[in-house]
Protein backbone atom coordinates (compact mmCIF):
# COMPACT_ATOMS: atom_id res chain seq x y z
CA UNK A 1 0.00 0.00 0.00
CA UNK A 2 1.53 3.33 -1.02
CA UNK A 3 1.29 6.37 1.19
CA UNK A 4 -0.43 9.46 -0.21
CA UNK A 5 1.67 12.60 -0.55
CA UNK A 6 0.73 15.15 2.08
CA UNK A 7 -0.13 18.77 1.31
CA UNK A 8 0.33 20.88 4.44
CA UNK A 9 -2.22 23.69 4.75
CA UNK A 10 -1.72 26.35 7.42
CA UNK A 11 -5.06 27.44 8.87
CA UNK A 12 -5.91 30.18 11.34
CA UNK A 13 -9.26 31.45 12.57
CA UNK A 14 -10.65 34.30 14.60
CA UNK A 15 -13.70 33.69 16.78
CA UNK A 16 -16.16 35.46 19.03
CA UNK A 17 -15.13 33.24 21.95
CA UNK A 18 -13.66 29.86 22.90
CA UNK A 19 -16.70 27.56 22.88
CA UNK A 20 -17.52 25.78 19.63
CA UNK A 21 -21.22 26.20 18.71
CA UNK A 22 -21.77 28.77 21.46
CA UNK A 23 -19.40 31.27 19.88
CA UNK A 24 -19.02 31.98 16.18
CA UNK A 25 -16.04 31.44 13.94
CA UNK A 26 -15.77 34.85 12.26
CA UNK A 27 -12.86 34.48 9.84
CA UNK A 28 -10.76 31.71 8.33
CA UNK A 29 -7.40 32.24 6.70
CA UNK A 30 -5.42 29.48 5.01
CA UNK A 31 -2.44 29.01 2.74
CA UNK A 32 -0.36 26.17 1.43
CA UNK A 33 2.47 25.85 3.94
CA UNK A 34 5.12 25.50 1.23
CA UNK A 35 3.47 27.94 -1.21
CA UNK A 36 1.96 30.60 1.07
CA UNK A 37 1.10 32.81 -1.88
CA UNK A 38 -1.67 30.28 -2.61
CA UNK A 39 -4.14 31.54 -0.07
CA UNK A 40 -7.76 31.56 1.05
CA UNK A 41 -9.71 33.85 3.35
CA UNK A 42 -13.36 34.26 4.22
CA UNK A 43 -15.50 36.06 6.78
CA UNK A 44 -18.54 34.21 8.12
CA UNK A 45 -21.86 35.44 9.41
CA UNK A 46 -22.24 34.72 13.13
CA UNK A 47 -24.25 31.66 14.15
CA UNK A 48 -25.05 33.11 17.57
CA UNK A 49 -25.11 36.51 19.24
CA UNK A 50 -22.89 35.28 22.08
CA UNK A 51 -19.44 36.85 22.22
CA UNK A 52 -16.68 37.60 24.65
CA UNK A 53 -15.38 41.15 24.48
CA UNK A 54 -11.81 39.91 25.02
CA UNK A 55 -12.04 37.58 22.00
CA UNK A 56 -13.39 40.34 19.77
CA UNK A 57 -10.78 42.80 21.06
CA UNK A 58 -7.98 40.42 20.01
CA UNK A 59 -9.05 40.43 16.36
CA UNK A 60 -10.73 43.82 16.18
CA UNK A 61 -13.77 42.16 14.60
CA UNK A 62 -17.37 42.75 15.60
CA UNK A 63 -20.44 40.57 15.26
CA UNK A 64 -22.10 43.43 13.36
CA UNK A 65 -19.25 43.57 10.84
CA UNK A 66 -19.37 39.79 10.36
CA UNK A 67 -23.16 39.86 9.95
CA UNK A 68 -22.87 42.60 7.32
CA UNK A 69 -19.79 41.38 5.41
CA UNK A 70 -19.69 37.65 6.12
CA UNK A 71 -20.98 34.74 4.09
CA UNK A 72 -23.49 32.27 5.47
CA UNK A 73 -21.52 29.41 7.09
CA UNK A 74 -22.63 26.80 4.51
CA UNK A 75 -21.44 29.01 1.64
CA UNK A 76 -18.17 29.91 3.39
CA UNK A 77 -17.32 26.28 4.18
CA UNK A 78 -18.21 25.17 0.64
CA UNK A 79 -15.81 27.81 -0.70
CA UNK A 80 -13.10 26.63 1.69
CA UNK A 81 -13.66 22.99 0.69
CA UNK A 82 -13.52 23.97 -3.00
CA UNK A 83 -10.24 25.85 -2.43
CA UNK A 84 -8.75 22.80 -0.70
CA UNK A 85 -9.89 20.53 -3.56
CA UNK A 86 -8.43 22.91 -6.16
CA UNK A 87 -5.05 23.03 -4.42
CA UNK A 88 -4.57 19.45 -3.27
CA UNK A 89 -3.78 17.17 -6.23
CA UNK A 90 -5.64 13.92 -6.67
CA UNK A 91 -4.15 11.08 -4.62
CA UNK A 92 -2.82 13.57 -2.06
CA UNK A 93 -4.03 14.27 1.48
CA UNK A 94 -4.61 17.74 2.90
CA UNK A 95 -3.07 18.14 6.36
CA UNK A 96 -4.42 20.86 8.64
CA UNK A 97 -1.50 22.73 10.27
CA UNK A 98 -2.07 25.18 13.09
CA UNK A 99 -0.46 26.93 16.02
CA UNK A 100 -2.51 25.62 18.88
CA UNK A 101 -4.20 23.47 16.27
CA UNK A 102 -6.68 21.90 18.71
CA UNK A 103 -8.45 25.26 19.11
CA UNK A 104 -8.61 26.21 15.43
CA UNK A 105 -9.30 22.66 14.23
CA UNK A 106 -12.20 22.22 16.64
CA UNK A 107 -14.05 25.18 15.11
CA UNK A 108 -13.13 24.28 11.52
CA UNK A 109 -14.16 20.66 12.06
CA UNK A 110 -17.49 21.67 13.63
CA UNK A 111 -18.28 24.11 10.82
CA UNK A 112 -17.29 21.66 8.08
CA UNK A 113 -19.39 18.85 9.58
CA UNK A 114 -22.41 21.00 10.46
CA UNK A 115 -22.54 23.20 7.35
CA UNK A 116 -20.78 21.14 4.68
CA UNK A 117 -21.36 17.52 5.73
CA UNK A 118 -17.69 16.50 5.77
CA UNK A 119 -14.29 17.78 6.78
CA UNK A 120 -11.73 17.59 3.93
CA UNK A 121 -8.98 17.38 6.57
CA UNK A 122 -10.45 14.27 8.16
CA UNK A 123 -10.34 13.99 11.92
CA UNK A 124 -6.81 15.14 12.76
CA UNK A 125 -4.55 18.18 12.73
CA UNK A 126 -0.82 18.83 13.02
CA UNK A 127 0.05 21.18 15.87
CA UNK A 128 3.16 23.34 15.40
CA UNK A 129 3.57 23.66 19.17
CA UNK A 130 3.75 19.88 19.59
CA UNK A 131 6.07 19.56 16.57
CA UNK A 132 8.37 22.18 18.08
CA UNK A 133 8.36 20.44 21.45
CA UNK A 134 9.31 17.17 19.77
CA UNK A 135 11.99 18.83 17.64
CA UNK A 136 13.66 20.67 20.50
CA UNK A 137 12.81 18.71 23.64
CA UNK A 138 11.60 21.95 25.26
CA UNK A 139 8.87 22.22 27.89
CA UNK A 140 5.25 22.82 26.91
CA UNK A 141 5.58 26.33 28.38
CA UNK A 142 8.30 27.06 25.83
CA UNK A 143 6.03 26.30 22.87
CA UNK A 144 4.49 29.79 22.90
CA UNK A 145 4.88 31.50 19.54
CA UNK A 146 7.27 34.03 21.10
CA UNK A 147 9.55 31.19 22.26
CA UNK A 148 9.35 29.45 18.89
CA UNK A 149 10.16 32.78 17.18
CA UNK A 150 13.36 33.16 19.22
CA UNK A 151 14.46 29.70 18.14
CA UNK A 152 13.63 29.71 14.42
CA UNK A 153 13.73 33.47 13.60
CA UNK A 154 10.79 33.88 11.17
CA UNK A 155 10.55 36.95 8.97
CA UNK A 156 6.77 37.27 9.56
CA UNK A 157 4.81 38.01 12.73
CA UNK A 158 1.26 37.25 13.78
CA UNK A 159 -1.26 40.09 14.02
CA UNK A 160 -4.61 38.31 14.63
CA UNK A 161 -5.72 38.65 11.03
CA UNK A 162 -6.59 35.06 10.08
CA UNK A 163 -4.84 35.12 6.68
CA UNK A 164 -1.74 36.93 7.94
CA UNK A 165 -1.53 34.53 10.86
CA UNK A 166 -1.91 31.52 8.55
CA UNK A 167 1.08 32.79 6.54
CA UNK A 168 3.08 33.43 9.71
CA UNK A 169 2.23 29.94 10.98
CA UNK A 170 3.21 28.45 7.60
CA UNK A 171 6.64 30.02 7.98
CA UNK A 172 6.97 28.73 11.55
CA UNK A 173 5.93 25.26 10.37
CA UNK A 174 8.49 25.24 7.54
CA UNK A 175 11.27 26.35 9.89
CA UNK A 176 10.37 23.85 12.63
CA UNK A 177 9.78 21.06 10.09
CA UNK A 178 13.25 21.78 8.69
CA UNK A 179 14.70 21.34 12.21
CA UNK A 180 12.95 17.97 12.52
CA UNK A 181 14.13 16.91 9.05
CA UNK A 182 17.71 17.96 9.82
CA UNK A 183 17.63 15.93 13.05
CA UNK A 184 16.15 12.81 11.42
CA UNK A 185 18.46 9.95 10.58
CA UNK A 186 19.22 9.54 6.89
CA UNK A 187 16.98 6.91 5.33
CA UNK A 188 18.61 4.38 3.06
Pick from 58, 38, 54: which is nearest to 162 by CA?
58
Place 2 in a pLDDT band, splitting at 50, 70 and 90.
Answer: low
Q: What are phi and psi of 100, to 5 degrees?
A: 70, 55
pLDDT of residue 186: 43
Look at residue 139 and give its three-state secondary structure. Answer: coil
Pick from 113, 173, 180: which is nearest to 148 by CA?
173
Q: Rounded distance, CA 8 to CA 33, Å?
A: 5
Q: What integer best gives the mean pLDDT of the chain?
A: 95
pLDDT digits (tens, 9 = 90+) for 127-186: 999 999 999 999 999 999 999 999 999 999 999 999 999 999 999 999 999 988 776 554
pTM of the shown model: 0.94
Contact 97, 11 (CB under 8 A): yes
160 noted as active-site residue? yes
**42 burial type by CB count under 10 A (0-12 exposed, 13-18 middle, 19+ buried):** buried
Q: Which fold has domain 5-183?
A: Nucleotidyltransferase; domain 5 (3.30.420)
DSSP 121: T
Helices within 52-161 (DSSP H only) = 53-59, 63-69, 73-87, 101-116, 128-136, 145-152
Among candidate residues 23, 116, 160, 177, the one labeled active-site is 160
CB atoms within 10 A of CB 165: 26
As a dihedral over the C-alpha atoms of residue 81, residue 84, residue 89, residue 92, rounded to 10 degrees, the angle is -90
pLDDT of residue 181: 78
Contact 143, 132 (CB under 8 A): yes
Q: Which residue has better confidence, 186 or 121?
A: 121
Amino acid sequence: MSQKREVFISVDIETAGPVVSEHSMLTVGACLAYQPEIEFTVMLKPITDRALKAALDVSGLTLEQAEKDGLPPAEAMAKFADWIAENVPENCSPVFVGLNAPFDWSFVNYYFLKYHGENPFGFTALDIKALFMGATGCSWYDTKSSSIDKNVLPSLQGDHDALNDAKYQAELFRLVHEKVSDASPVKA
